[in-house]
Amino acid sequence: MELIDVHAHLNYEGLIERIDEVISKCKLVGVKVIITQGTEPKGNREVLELSKKYDIVKPALGFYPTHIAEYSDEDIENELNFISNSDCIVIGEVGLDYFQGKNHEHKDNLTDEVKNRMIKYFKKLIQISIDKDIPIIVHSRKAELDTIEVLEEMKAKKVVMHCYSGKKKYLQRMIDNGWSFSIPTNVERALHFHYIIKVVPLNKLFTETDAPFLAPIKNEINDSSNVIVVIKKIAEIKQLDEEEVANNIFLNYQKLFL
Ligand SMILES: [Zn+2]
């Protein structure tokens, strides 16, 4: 079986300390591609290093929405230049995040100004993906409608909605736009993904881990070898053979990313 993880954070704590072991383990179970996501300037460089060192690691560079507030316009513009001139194969992780949970970055400060700045740079990152003609991996939390409208306004085509947990009523609109969805490894306990698997055609589905987060078993450290769990769930829900699901998802990768 050829497996793919379109969304992981291999440079994060929990994985980076034992990265050789993690990569070997993934290769052993048939993982052929791990797209690892940059979320800020330091992370973007770490992602590029990892992709040079390990053949199965592919670089996605981006600016995570909640990090935008932590950097000056000048710093962000510099980083956008760096991303534009890099040889990343994906733009990610980018998007919009309006969540204000207890320990979340936006707990007290989600002003219109903060939101507008997030949107401004999300647009610029989308434009980079369009100029480079590469896919964009999109995070959206409590901001689905704005995320969809911005992507539509920019006429982004190669869109992968990562871990979409927004309202069901927007799903058909995104499917009609031709966008794809990546399903994470916590799929067994996150029931809304069962619905997404059901309604999204197989040729628009991807497997992901968001490792080290979203492990199949809550609070364990996740890694890309677990994507098999998602293959099994898609096979079960769509009543297909696991091998067939894995082959189709690998084909989806070749079509959109190569
Ligand atoms: Zn992520």
pLDDT value for 102: 78
HSE at residue 60, side-chain half, CA atoms within 13 A, is: 31
pLDDT in tens, the chain (258 residues): 999 999 999 999 999 999 999 999 999 999 999 999 999 999 999 999 999 999 999 999 999 999 999 999 999 999 999 999 999 999 999 999 999 877 787 777 889 999 999 999 999 999 999 999 999 999 999 999 999 999 999 999 999 999 999 999 999 999 999 999 999 999 999 999 999 999 999 999 999 999 999 999 999 999 999 999 999 999 999 999 999 999 999 999 999 999
pLDDT value for 133: 98
Is residue 154 within 8 Å of 126, Cβ to Cβ?
yes
**Cα-to-centroid distance, 7 and ligand 1 (Å):** 6
Residues whose CB falls within 8 Å of the CB of residue 63, separated by 6 or more in sequence, listed in order: 39, 40, 71, 76, 79, 80, 83, 94, 121, 125
Residues whose CB falls within 8 Å of the CB of residue 45, separated by 6 or more in sequence, listed in order: 38
**Cα-to-centroid distance, 159 and ligand 1 (Å):** 15
**Cα-to-centroid distance, 9 and ligand 1 (Å):** 6
**Cα-to-centroid distance, 51 and ligand 1 (Å):** 17
**Cα-to-centroid distance, 108 and ligand 1 (Å):** 23
The length of the chain, given as a count of residues: 258
**Cα-to-centroid distance, 93 and ligand 1 (Å):** 6
pLDDT value for 23: 98
Is residue 158 within 8 Å of 150, Cβ to Cβ?
no
pLDDT value for 197: 98
**Cα-to-centroid distance, 208 and ligand 1 (Å):** 10
**Cα-to-centroid distance, 1 and ligand 1 (Å):** 24
**Residue 142: left (phi > 0), alpha (psi -120 to 50), or beta?**
left
pLDDT value for 107: 77
**Cα-to-centroid distance, 175 and ligand 1 (Å):** 22
**Cα-to-centroid distance, 237 and ligand 1 (Å):** 25
- pTM value? 0.96
**Cα-to-centroid distance, 68 and ligand 1 (Å):** 15
**Cα-to-centroid distance, 38 and ligand 1 (Å):** 9
pLDDT value for 234: 98
**Cα-to-centroid distance, 111 and ligand 1 (Å):** 24
**Cα-to-centroid distance, 255 and ligand 1 (Å):** 22
**Cα-to-centroid distance, 155 and ligand 1 (Å):** 23
HSE at residue 230, side-chain half, CA atoms within 13 A, is: 33
**Residue 180: left (phi > 0), alpha (psi -120 to 50), or beta?**
beta
